Structure 1
Amino acid sequence: MTAGVFTTVPGLLATPLHDQYAWDRGQIALAASVNMVLFGLTAPFAAALADRVGVRRVATGALLLVAAGALLTTGLSQPWHLVLYWGVLIGAGGGCLTMSFAAQLTGVWFVRRRGLVTGALGAAAHLGQLLFLPLLAWAVDHYHWRAPVVTLALAALVVAALVWLSLRDHPADAGVSPYGAQGFVPKPPPAAGAVRRTLSVLLAASRTGTFWLLAGLFVLCGATTNGIMWSNWVPSAHDHGMRTTAAASLLSLVGVFSSLGAVLSGWLTDRFDPRRLLCLYFAVRALTLFALPAVLSARITPSLIAFVVVYGLVDVATVPPVIALGRRAYGDDGPIVFGWVNAAHQLGAGASSFLGAAARDVFGTYDVVWTALGVACVAAALSAPAARPGRRHGDRRGRPTRPDRARHVGSGGPAPS
């Protein structure tokens, strides 16, 4: 929840920073782009590092890094300060707490209902938007942009303390079995060579078509969700005469329905073919983006509410199906593979954040951006059925197995190297 809120704040800061420092929107969006890229690139290394030192240490360190970046942002005076503090520090810290973090915890703590739990954890980031975003927007309007930044830094410090005191790395640390397991599961030894393992998993996965298809889908997914919405929605609504607080409230409402959609998608992923679900989600998202230029206005209208509801339901609904496909294809290495796929998601998000703002500077409107992103969703919907969901198994000792020789998960024996 805490990491999710940080991703939405650049959209609230864009107009105040533009007014105070006369920086171009493209300069401000560059920090958001760097944040999104590092948010993705950090994830696979954090997943491997957690296998070595534990999720508690990784999560606590990430939250401290995020808090430090936020506090330093309050003293910025140049565009590159924003890139360093919000882009690099907060991007790297938040990247340790992405959906790879959720996939890793789900794989360790749950045997049954993994799709549902993954969806619930994915919903947490958007629930954070629901709780914080309207309050932060109100603070920007009534006080100054620094007030919400300090608030978030303090929230991150509080959560870091809670994580350190309460989070456990493995069910065995708490003396319980994973949910749905047949018996007690001992804690595995720490995985050696986190960086080497992360890169070797990438090398092995990159030899499979499934990896590139999932990565390509997530490039388009990132470009059409957080990439454009979290940093450009508020400025776009402002162009139509909508107040910042109202625009932020709508974005918060997207978070509400994203939370519902993520949980529902997780439940559906446990029951239906993930490829068909991805096709459906991207198709619906395309329709909403095509309709947005016609429904966006200065007032909150029924048609705009309808957009928020439908778009929100499919916003992060793609995550549980992609995690399920990655787990089936790569077994124990699935969270690391998903980390790399999520890095592709953030590359698309970062490009969309910067190019969307740059297009606004060039064309004077976001309408061309919404249409182009709708076309991208159509391409993703047509590509999704080609993913191969065959189950494979990875090697937890640090060497990924060759996917074409690996043994079916749960076959009762170790996978061959």
Structure 2
Amino acid sequence: MPIPSFLARRSFHYGFFVAGLTFLALLVAAAIRSAPGVFIVPFEQEFGWSRATISLAISLNLVLYGLIGPFAATVMEQIGIRWMMVFSLAAIAIGVGLTTLMSAPWQLILLWGIVVGCGSGVIALVLGAIVVNRWFFERRGLILGILTASTATGQLVFLPILSAITHRFGWRAGALVLTGAALLIIPAIAIFMRDRPAEVGLRPFGDKSETGELPQPKANSIASTFNALWLGMGNRDFWLLFGSFFICGASTNGLIGTHLIPACIDHGIPEVKAAGLLAIMGLFDFLGTTISGWLSDRWNNRYLLCWYYGLRGLSLIFLPFSFNFSFYGLSVFAVFYGLDWIATVPPTVRLVANAFGKENVGVMFGWIVAGHQIGAATAAFGAGVLRTWMGSYFQAFILSGVLCLIAAVCVLRIGQTPSKGNSQLLKQET
């Protein structure tokens, strides 16, 4: 399918337009993934379901979101990025739309947990990593930082609106708005998205070499994905990256993204005002993650991660005490925590590329993102259980903060031992 001439001009590299489409898709997917934080209390009030039951569906969504990533990375080699994005956005729209008809917990688990979880697993951090490494030779860290920050922008743009709609018209109206947003961007992806620079007669941005792009082998996606995991498991850096990203997921999407609004409501803070806190975090995270991408091109990425996890841990330990200072204490938390929300992604991707090679970033980062989402699911369900059992989120916030401080120490060991040759093995096998 031809593209408009002004988009194919050599003075405007098409990679920036591809990055823009990817940003838009990630933004919408992020808004949908953050929606359960707004819907938990309405589900409790309408259906009488416990917070632990609702958290189970959310945790399943987060697990599948992570586990789909590495397989999506290899399937993209088979059918292309564009059609994978179209199919996944359609699945997300169907899953969210059908939740308006549900009446039993198993339907929430099926639709939000499985259907939306699988669809959002493609429109995820792995997608951004693949797009950046295919389309950009220069400014990879900066572009990846901007793409990663789209999850923050999704919260910034949608959560206050979604919360206001839900408060005034009910959660079903909010779900239909999310469905419409997913459906709206599918045509643009189908028409303008491209898989590789060669499809529009270009090289990756900043690549001045004369060699042509090597054709990618059509490997068995399932076998190559599991083989990459098996080989990665023999590398200590894989476990350090996997473990630190497990803690990253537990301390962001799983805990704050899912339970901050219900925790605020527990302390008498209205839902719309609580959603505004997440929006503040989104605003400052857009800034923090973009700067993190810029820094990852210039500074030692291990030290960056150490600072990020350390500051996040201190912020989470402060959080349960900030409720004593009313909304102003929470605003201070939102600013400092927001700057750090997912600033960990650009340096983590850079360290994955260093450990396993640029050609393997998609599948290996996919497995590490799986660790992120397993951590998120553990925190989403565990915090719900603790809230049901203890009547408070205090223990969940403190435990998450301590885990972040542990991660801050562990990441300093990444890349400190000689390579075992995993990059070459992965290249040969995949």
TM-score range (shorter-chain normalised) is over 0.9
Shift of 1:190: 5.5
User: Match of 1:180, SS?
Assistant: coil
**2:399 aligned residue:** 372
Change over 3 Å in CA distance of 1:242–1:189 after alignment to 2: same
One-letter amino acid of the structure 2 residue matched with residue 76 of structure 1: M
Partner residue of 2:232 out of 205, 213, 220 = 205
Q: Is the 8 A contact 1:241 1:298 kept in 2?
A: no
Moved more, 216-225 or 192-201: 192-201
One-letter amino acid of the structure 2 residue matched with residue 201 of structure 1: A
**2:257 aligned residue:** 230
One-letter amino acid of the structure 1 residue matched with residue 361 of structure 2: G
**In 1, Cα distance between equivalents of 2:154 and 2:80:** 24
**1:219 aligned residue:** 246
TM-score normalized with structure 1 length: 0.93
**1:253 aligned residue:** 280
**2:35 aligned residue:** 9
Alignment of 1:176 with 2:176, yes or no, is: no
Shift of 1:161: 1.4
**In 1, Cα distance between equivalents of 2:396 and 2:192:** 44
One-letter amino acid of the structure 1 residue matched with residue 340 of structure 2: V
Q: Is the 8 A contact 1:53 1:190 kept in 2?
A: no
Please provide the CA RMSD for this pair: 1.9
Shift of 1:416: 9.8
Shift of 1:194: 1.4
Partner residue of 1:48 out of 62, 74, 79 = 74
**1:23 aligned residue:** 49
1:127-138, aligned counterparts within 5 Å? 127-138=153-164
Q: Is the 8 A contact 2:49 2:105 kept in 1?
A: yes
User: Match of 2:340, SS?
Assistant: helix
Partner residue of 1:271 out of 286, 298, 316 = 298
Q: Is the 8 A contact 1:325 1:389 kept in 2?
A: no
**In 1, Cα distance between equivalents of 2:272 and 2:418:** 47
Q: Is the 8 A contact 2:355 2:423 kept in 1?
A: no
**1:410 aligned residue:** none
Change over 3 Å in CA distance of 1:405–1:42 after alignment to 2: closer
Q: Is the 8 A contact 2:316 2:400 kept in 1?
A: yes
**In 2, Cα distance between equivalents of 1:267 and 1:36:** 28
Partner residue of 1:68 out of 94, 119, 144 = 94
**2:131 aligned residue:** 105
Q: Is the 8 A contact 1:330 1:391 kept in 2?
A: no
Shift of 1:382: 1.0
Moved more, 159-168 or 38-47: 159-168
User: Match of 1:315, SS?
Assistant: coil
**1:89 aligned residue:** 115
**In 2, Cα distance between equivalents of 1:243 and 1:84:** 30
Higher helix share goes to which structure?
A: 2
**In 2, Cα distance between equivalents of 1:203 and 1:297:** 48
**In 2, Cα distance between equivalents of 1:186 and 1:404:** 19
**In 2, Cα distance between equivalents of 1:122 and 1:259:** 8
Identity of aligned residues (%): 36
Alignment of 1:403 with 2:415, yes or no, is: no
**2:189 aligned residue:** 163
Q: Is the 8 A contact 1:242 1:298 kept in 2?
A: no
Change over 3 Å in CA distance of 1:390–1:107 after alignment to 2: farther
**In 1, Cα distance between equivalents of 2:105 and 2:423:** 48
**In 1, Cα distance between equivalents of 2:96 and 2:73:** 24
Alignment of 1:343 with 2:343, yes or no, is: no
Alignment of 1:118 with 2:137, yes or no, is: no
Alignment of 1:315 with 2:341, yes or no, is: yes
Shift of 1:379: 0.6
Moved over 3 A (4+): 183-187, 389-392, 404-407, 414-417
Moved more, 229-238 or 380-389: 380-389
- The count of corresponding residues between Structure 1 and Structure 2 is 402
Deviations 1:324-377 (Å, cap 9, x if unpaired)? 010111111122101000001000000100110110111111111111111111
1:297-316, aligned counterparts within 5 Å? 299-301=326-328, 303-316=329-342
**2:15 aligned residue:** none
Where in structure 2 are there 5+ consecutive unaligned residues?
A: 1-26
Partner residue of 1:285 out of 312, 322, 333 = 312
Change over 3 Å in CA distance of 1:171–1:390 after alignment to 2: farther
Change over 3 Å in CA distance of 1:365–1:115 after alignment to 2: same
Deviations 1:174-207 (Å, cap 9, x if unpaired)? 2222111014643624533111211111111111
